[in-house]
Structures are given as structure tokens and as C-alpha cells.
Amino acid sequence: MKTLTTFLSYAIAMAITIPAVSQQKKKADEGRAILAIPEVEKKDVICFALYTVSDGTLKLTAQLYPLAEDDPKEVRLEIEKGGDWVEIAKVDAIHPGWTAPFRVENWDDSKKTRYRVAHGDEATYEGTIRKNPKDKDEILVAGFTGNSIRPTHGGDISRQDIIDNVKEADIDILFFSGDQVYDHFKHYAAWLKFGRDFGDIIKDRPTLCLPDDHDVGQPNLWGESGKISTLNGASDGGYSRPGAYVQEVERAQTSHFPDPADPHQIGQGIGVWFTNLNWGKIDFAVIEDRKFKTGPAGRVPKQGPRPDHILNPDYDPNSVDVEGAVLLGERQLSFLDDWTQNWKQCDMKVVLSATIFCGGAHIHGKASGRLHADMDSNGWPQTGRNKAISTLRKGFAFHYAGDQHLATIFQHGVDEHGDGIWSFGVPSIANLYLRWWQPLEPGSNREEGAPDYTGDYLDGFNNKITNYAAANPETNPAGNILNTRSAGWGIIRLNTKSREITMECWPRNVNIANPASKQYPGWPRTISQFDNYNPPSWGKLGELSFDVEDPVVQLVDAETKEILYTVRANGKTFTPGAPKGKMFMVKAGKDAPETIVSERSTVGSSPRMVSLMEKPQKNLNSKGPHAD
Amino acid sequence: MVCCGNPTLVMKDFPTILKMPGEKQDQTLLLCLRLGAFLCFAGWAWVHFYWQAPYGVLLWQNNIFSLLERIGFTWEEFVGTGAGDGWVQEWSGRVGWLFLACTILSLTARNASRFQMIGLLTGSLFLIILSYAKFVKAQYQLPMFVEHGGQMLIPVLLVLALFFGVRHPTTVCTAIIAFIMTFAGHGAYAVGFWPTPSTFYAMTSVILNVEYQATQIFLYIVGVMDFVICLGLFLPPIRCASVLYGAAWGFVTALARPVAGMSPSLNYWGADQFLHEAILRASHFLIPLYLFFLWKKPSSTPFSESTKET
């Protein structure tokens, strides 16, 4: 009896405590996103559709609201021909996730085509498959990241400004670099909301969405080829959510990508989607910088209060560059190596990935949350990072990414500052987590008049980097909840005629067509395509003059036979850059470097005329090359 | 009534414990609570000294910043500059010493020493703060706070056992509440009343080497069982079985972290990453074990006879 009385007393105490805690929860709920799947009428069951066209294949994925048990599962794809709708494909919607992925071969990308997705007798969803803009001089790619929908970050503020600006600028490609979804358990509901927010621009242009850590339901992602992660925070490597969940996410976000370059599955039956998209004579490599990456926990010596954070500025960076740690992995490096050499029907190359190849922030979370290095960044592992940059610069690839919630422009270095590719990390659509680029010392070799935080640096892993811009949030953001937190988006203008790349970084809720509208400080910035591999220590070989426009030129180390780079020249002349004191074989061709132009060129060698049109092209293995 | 324990009693004595006379059984009951508190504090002390306790989610807030500004602190003084520690890091380290002290107090505390018992209760208060921080970090999911009931209450239980006695209704009721909180909180996640934590799936898949669907079914079943054993506490015929199952399941789930995560390929086999996760969950099986020993009647020998024999 005494026990029962005591227990009842406790029960009463709990009865008071639990509502009090619930009240606290209610208060917290006010700052949270409401994420529910709305009930829609049968005619509205198709939420949105995403597509890409590459190498004559259309891939389009229709995203449906939940179908009832007695609803037909079949979804049809129709195109408009002579005023009529003609069915060209049909598939059953895949559950879980209610996606309908279509694949149509022999697609004629030389003309614009109206399409509609149809379900049952009532539901249709219309859009436009654009013609391949090969004839355009300038291709515009809008870049987005970090789509927080939480009111506390301004996530509940309408995206209409983005929709209007994308339409106004007539953007050619949409690139969502990651964290389209922040809910770790309800990807489907959040993805439908993403579709409601952005579907109006997605339906009419090729779109690439790269699922990043939050999309697959974890705060950080070191995928380790599909391993299962059991550590809170997932720094032991692998996926926290079940493989089936990850597969559903990737089906929703990537099943409309061009076919993967190397489709072998990884652990837990998770697929891969790294591939390339050739659009408007720009060759985009779409890579997975998280999927194969090694988790740091237990692999590297502990350097801070979290396995992935380094706080001690005096630590030895070499100690964390452990043997066997992977960044992109051999499969992707092999793909990229081939990709940099293939210049068929393309003038410029861009690599798209989740994040940039360095530790690109000093302060994390709140002002004063200084980290020396963060292993979630692609600055770690250093060997893997250097392999990635060394491969990408062989194709003069420009890097477009996001993830950091902090817009930056960096040029990456491997052996010296400025010898690698440039990157533009775009700001978040709504900024969930603040970061600042705030080095303790001014950078060296700054441009005249540039802010102190620009210039040459070593990041927390001793990687060589040069900062050109950073859109830091305010120290204690208040007021304009989006832009004081440096929310926004990016545009890159890829000019295939001048071979220039212009980076633009726009705050939210400005009209980018209005000349009075200002970008974040440091933008716009224009670089040459050829700046993506132009080491300061290099010299120039003799100028090559060709009898064809825009030939493909390749430089090969005469001793090691290692390819230094392959690139499409702009016009009829090209002056190859090269390291001093070595000999190089130069190859060239109209679309591939099939002709040996010179076998032993050195820096300072004399100019030469090269005929690629009149002579039959030499076989790569042919003997008797020219020599300087 | 015996109010102090015999720390030399170990688990190998388990078969004989069931037939022990009352006094020795009381020592065993107290040992369960002492060990539970000791391991819980030791695990959390490890987190404080070696990793990072989750206070940040409570302290790195704009309203805290405003308050600090009013009393003359700068944000840098509060959270550090990265080049140097601030108030948060310094005090987080100091709290680690409190946990270490409580670890020792768990073994040494006697009912004669109010000071030691106040120390343990202070430790309990900090465990409540830690649990609240995890609750906030989990976006105010109620089970996240509730399932820490065993950890929050184990020092309180030890103090009650020392002060009132191991069989006192207050002690027993607190143990029942700690048991229910731990298992109902866990069950609410496993059944899916709240989103099941990823680690539940991950550990099950890795240890049992089963696919997602099988994992779902498994978690649902063990989640239901969590609630069944909570109800079982109030049904005398099955309460011993319930707490025994609770002890076994609590032990398995605590051990699941290192079993699933440790590997010879990791530095120290990953022990520094995972072992403390098992240690600080010791109360999840030691509180049920306490209840089991409490309710388990001596099997064949009547209490009076066994007392006489001794």
C-alpha cells in the first residue's frame, strides 16, 4: 500500500511535468517547418517533373503525390506533335516515393518540344523540353544549395523571387548542389514541397539535384561505399538511414540524370549516379564527392571534441592524411580522367559536386565557433583532394558547388598557389547554419584593393588555396532574416565564344534584371576557362597556328607519357602553357588529339603552323612525329 | 536494514545470490545501484574530458548572448575565439571533474555522509541537464528525454537506497519510474511513435546482418516488448520475467554500440568512439537487475531457514 501511495505521488508529479515539457515543445514547434503531404484531387496527383537530355536520350522523372490502392499505377509521357498529344512512353510509378522515371532514346534535341505527363483520366502536368542550346554563345547555370524550410531561418519565405529571376534571366540549367531536403525522416513529404516551390522552373529546363547529407537523412556524410554508420554524427563513415531510404531519395532526385558512367551498385544496394551532361557545348561532370569518402572517426588521431573537427591549430596536418583514406575513389577518378580527355561536341568543362575542395570556412555555427579544420569538407583527405584537383585541372574544369552555407570563390592549388581549378560555392537558399570565412591573418598576394581576407592561404589541412570572395553573414544576424544570414543563389555564365566564366552571387528578394540591384561583395567575377590550369611557375611553348577553328590540343610529358591536359583551343591559335625544364609531346585534332604535332617541345620553343584539315590525321601510335 | 554495500561482490556470484539471505541480497541490490551510478558517471566523465558534452545546444543561443551582453560578457569571452577557450569550454571541462567526483562518490557514498549524497544529487542534476540538451538537440522529441530516465535517476536511486534503504517504497518506486522511462522511451522510438533513430536500424542491421524489412519488424517487436514489460511490472506473476527481460535487453542495447561500431581496423579498435556509449548506459540493465533481485524470492530455501543456517 505504501509503495502504491508513493508511486501515485510520482505519477501526479509526472502529470504536472509532462504537460510543462509539452508546452516547451509547443513553443519550439513555432520555429519548425510544418511538413505534411497535402491531400490533392485526382487531377493534381502529379506534383512536378524533372528532366535532362544527353547524347540523344531524354530522361524524365515525374513525381507523384501518393496514389490510392485502387488508383492505376501507370503513368504516361506524351509529347505534342502537330497539335496532338502523342504517347511516347509509359511506366508504373515506383513506391516508396511515387516516382515515375521515363527513358526515351533517339531524342531529337535540335528542337523545343512540349510534353505532358498523364495519369489516369484526369491528371496531366505540362512542361517544355528545351532544344539543346548549341547555338547560344552564353549558357547560364543557376546554382542553389541549402533549402531550409524552417521559419527561424527565413525558410518559410516564398521562393517566388527565385522563380521570377530564373524565368527573367532564362536560365539554361538548374543546379541544386545538395540539401534540397533537411528533414531526416520525411524525404518524400519534403521533396513534394520542394517540387511545389520550384516545379514551375524545373519543368521547363534541365535540372540536376545532387542528394547531399541532409537529403539522405544525416548531418554529415562520408558514404564509404555504402557502409552502415552506427555512430551518432556518422563520422565513422557510411549511411545512417537504411539503404532502402537512401535508394528512395536517389530515385527521386537523380533517376532523371544521364545514365551513370559506371553503374555498379555500392553497399546496401545503393546506386551511383556520377555521370556527365553535355548541354549547350558545355560538358558537365556530375560527381559524388560524399558517396565513396572515408569516415574519419577511428582513422585519424583525435584532434578535437568531435572526430571530424580539428581545433588544435598546432596539430600536424600530415597526421590526418592517413593511408587508404578515400575522397572521390578510383571509379570516379577514372571516369574524370577519361572525361577530361573527351572534348567531343564541347567547348568548356564544368564539374558539379556538393562541396568545394578545401576547408572554406573558419567560423562554424555561431560567431566565434572557430574550427581549425573540418573533415566534412573536401579538404580532407589531402591526398584524395590533390588527386581530384590534379585530375580536374587536366580538363580546365571549373568547379560549381554549394553545401557550405557560405558563398566563396577559391582557386585551388596542389604544388603551388594558383595551379589548380577555380570553384564557386553558392550561398544557401535559406541559411540553416552560419559559417564565416574569417582568417586570422591577411592573405598574401592579394589583388590591389581587395579585402584582407582574400589572397593566398593554407587551409586547416595545409591545402594551398587562394580566396577571391566570401559572402560572410553578419556577426549577429538580425532584421532581414534571409540576407543578413547571407542567403542567396548563384549564376555562372559560360561564354563558349570568349571562353569566359562569370560568377554572380545574388541575395534573395532582389530583381537581378534591375541595374540597381547589388550582388554580394566580391561578385561578379570573370575568369578565363584557361585560368583553371595556369600555374604561375609555368612558361609557354611556342604558339601553334591551326587551319581549323577550335582544335583540341593535348600536352603529354615526353618522358613519362603522362597527359598534362587536354583542351579545346579558342580560335585558330593556341599557346600551350607548360612546366619549365621539361619536354612535351603536343597532340591536336579537330575533335580529339589524334595528331602528334610535336614530340619534343619545351618552354620557349618557336611558333609553328599545324595543318589538321588537309593531311589525313595520324594515328596515335604512328611514328615519325614532328620535332622542334 | 543494510545501508552500505559490499563492492567486492561480483557478477560471478549471480547463481548464489538468488539463494542469499536477506542481508546479503540487500548488499547485492545496493551493488546494482552503485555500479549503475558509477558506470553512468564514468561514461559521461569520459564524454566531458575526451569528447564534447552536448551543452552547446543550450548555451549557443541568441537570447543567452543578449543576457551575457547585459551583464558585461562578450560573446568571445563566452564561447571562445577558437584560438582560445571561452567560458563554455572551460566550464564544460570543469563539469567533467564533477562527473569524475561523482564516479568516485558512487562507490564511496555512505548514508552517514550528507555531503556525499548531495554530491550525487548534483551529479543527477547535471545528468538531467544533459538529457534536456539531447532532448532539445533532437528537436524536442519527448522520448529522447524520457529514455534517459534510467541515467538521470540512477544517482537519485543510490541516494534513496542509502538514505531510506534498498527496499523502501520510495526507492522501489523511483526504480520503477526509471525502468518505465527507459523502456517506454526506447519503445516509443522503436515502435515508431516518433521517428525511429537511424542508429536503431543501423545497429540491428550490422549486428544481425539482416535487411531493412526484417529490421523494421524486429524493431517493432522489441518496441512492443518494451511496453509489455513496463506493464508487466504491475502484474506480479510476470514482473520478475519482465525485469529479467529488461535487464537482458538493456544489456544488449547498451553493448550494441561497441559491438556494431568497433573494428580492428580502427585506432584503438574504435574503443574511444564507442565503449563509453555502452558504459554510460549501464543503468539500463542494472536498474532492472536491481528490481529482479528485489522481487525474486529465494528459490527453495525459506528466508527464515536460510537465516538460521547462517
If asked whether residues A80 and A212 sit together in one domain, one would say: no
A175 domain residue, yes or no: yes
pLDDT value, residue A544: 97
Residues B80, A363: C-beta atoms closer than 8 Å = no
Say whether pLDDT at B6 is over 80: no
Residues A298, B169: C-beta atoms closer than 8 Å = no
Measure the CA–CA gap between A500 and A495, rounded to whole angstroms. 5
CA distances (Å), origin A498, targets A76, A502, B128? 42, 11, 64
Inter-residue contact A248 to A187 (CB < 8 Å): yes
If asked whether residues A566 and A493 sit together in one domain, one would say: no
Q: Among A37, A181, A159, A569, which Cα is nearest to A346's?
A: A569
Q: Once rounded to an integer, what is the mean pLDDT over residues B86-91?
A: 77
User: Is A362's Cβ below 8 Å from some Cβ in B?
Assistant: yes
Rg (CA), chain B: 21
Residue with more model confidence, A38 or A8? A38
User: Is A607's Cβ below 8 Å from some Cβ in B?
Assistant: no
* Beta strands at A595-601 and A584-589: parallel, antiparallel or unpaired: antiparallel
Q: Among A251, A236, A234, which Cα is nearest to A184's?
A: A234
CATH number at residue A62: 2.60.40.730
On chain B, the residues whose CB falls within 8 A of the CB of A311 are: 82
pLDDT value, residue B89: 74
Please tell me the least confidently modeled range out of A79-93, A410-424, B19-33.
Answer: B19-33
Q: What residues have CB less than 8 Å from B188, skipping those under 6 apart?
A: B142, B143, B146, B147, B194, B223
Mean pLDDT of chain B: 87
Measure the CA–CA gap between B160 and B41, rounded to whole angstroms. 17
In A145-184, the residues whose Cβ lies within 8 Å of chain B are: 184
Residues A369, B177: C-beta atoms closer than 8 Å = no
If asked whether residues A226 and A296 sit together in one domain, one would say: yes
Residue A532, class by beta-carbon neighbours within 10 Å (0-12 exposed, 13-18 middle, 19+ buried)?
Answer: buried
Question: Which of the 8 DSSP states describes residue B208?
Answer: H
Q: Taking each helix axis from N to C terminus, what angle separates B236-261 and B212-232, rounded to the nearest 10 degrees? A: 140
If asked whether residues A58 and A174 sit together in one domain, one would say: no
Q: Once rounded to an integer, what is the mean pLDDT over residues A423-431?
A: 97
**Phi, psi dihedral angles at B237 (to 5 degrees):** -65, -25
On chain B, the residues whose CB falls within 8 A of the CB of A294 are: none
pLDDT digits (tens, 9 = 90+) for A121-131: 999 999 999 99
Q: Once rounded to an integer, what is the mean pLDDT over residues A141-162?
A: 95
If asked whether residues A114 and A229 sit together in one domain, one would say: no
How far, in whole angstroms, is CA A413 from its chain's centroid?
20
pLDDT digits (tens, 9 = 90+) for A238-283: 999 999 999 999 999 999 999 999 999 999 999 999 999 999 999 9
pLDDT value, residue B4: 37
User: Is B14's Cβ below 8 Å from some Cβ in A?
Assistant: no
* Secondary structure of B133-187 as H, E, C letters: HHHHHCCCCHHHHHCCHHHHHHHHHHHHHHHCCCCCHHHHHHHHHHHHHHHHHHH
Half-sphere exposure of B174 (CA within 13 A, CB side): 21
- The total of other beta-carbon atoms located within 10 Å of residue A122's CB is 11
At residue A310's C-alpha, the angle toward residues A308 and A311, to 5°, is 140
A505 domain residue, yes or no: yes
Number of domains in chain A: 4
Torsion angle in degrees (nearest 10) through CA of A624, A625, A626, A627: -90
User: Is B142's Cβ below 8 Å from some Cβ in A?
Assistant: yes
Inter-residue contact A232 to B47 (CB < 8 Å): no
Measure the CA–CA gap between B178 and A504, rounded to whole angstroms. 57
Q: Among B23, B20, B14, which Cα is nearest to B247's?
A: B14
Say whether pLDDT at A624 is over 70: no
pLDDT digits (tens, 9 = 90+) for A498-530: 999 999 999 999 999 999 999 999 999 999 999
Please tell me the least confidently modeled range out of A207-221, A423-437, A610-624, B140-154.
Answer: A610-624
If asked whether residues A484 and A525 sit together in one domain, one would say: yes
pLDDT value, residue A31: 56
On chain B, the residues whose CB falls within 8 A of the CB of A21 are: 142, 145
Residue with more model confidence, B15 or B41? B41
Q: What residues have CB less than 8 Å from A575, skipping those under 6 apart?
A: A540, A541, A542, A543, A544
A37 domain residue, yes or no: no
Residue B92's pLDDT band, with cuts at 50, 70 and 90, is confident
If asked whether residues A288 and A399 sit together in one domain, one would say: yes
If asked whether residues A326 and A225 sit together in one domain, one would say: yes
On chain A, the residues whose CB falls within 8 A of the CB of B266 are: 297-299
Please tell me the least confidently modeled range out of A445-454, B60-69, B283-292.
Answer: B60-69
Closest chain B residue to the Cα of A300, Cα to Cα: B267
pLDDT digits (tens, 9 = 90+) for A31-46: 566 689 999 999 999 9
Residue that terminates a domain, selected from A533, A562, A591: A533
Q: What residues have CB less than 8 Å from A418, skipping those under 6 apart?
A: A411, A456, A466, A534, A535, A536
A569 domain residue, yes or no: yes
Say whether pLDDT at B251 is over 70: yes
Residue that terminates a domain, selected from A464, A498, A533: A533
User: Is B90's Cβ below 8 Å from some Cβ in A?
Assistant: no
pLDDT digits (tens, 9 = 90+) for A102-139: 999 999 999 999 999 999 999 999 999 999 999 999 99
On chain A, the residues whose CB falls within 8 A of the CB of B213 are: 244
If asked whether residues A546 and A524 sit together in one domain, one would say: no
Residues B172, A3: C-beta atoms closer than 8 Å = yes
Nearest C-alpha of chain B: how many angstroms from A142? 32
Across the interface, which of B76, B257, B263 has its CB nearest the CB of A368? B76
Q: Once rounded to an integer, what is the mean pLDDT over residues A453-478?
A: 94
A620 domain residue, yes or no: no
pLDDT value, residue A627: 41
A618 domain residue, yes or no: no
User: Is A7's Cβ below 8 Å from some Cβ in B?
Assistant: yes
Report the residue of A17, A27, A228, A230 to disrupt the B interface, i.e. the one with the largest count of B CBs within 10 Å.
A230
Across the interface, which of B82, B140, B173 has its CB nearest the CB of A10? B173
pLDDT value, residue A369: 74
In B235-294, the residues whose Cβ lies within 8 Å of chain A are: 257, 260-261, 263, 265-268, 270, 272-274
At residue B165's C-alpha, the angle toward residues B161 and B166, to 5°, is 65
- H/E element, B306: helix B303-309
Domain of residue A26: give its range: 1-30
Residue B87's pLDDT band, with cuts at 50, 70 and 90, is confident
Residue A9's pLDDT band, with cuts at 50, 70 and 90, is low
Inter-residue contact A120 to A71 (CB < 8 Å): yes
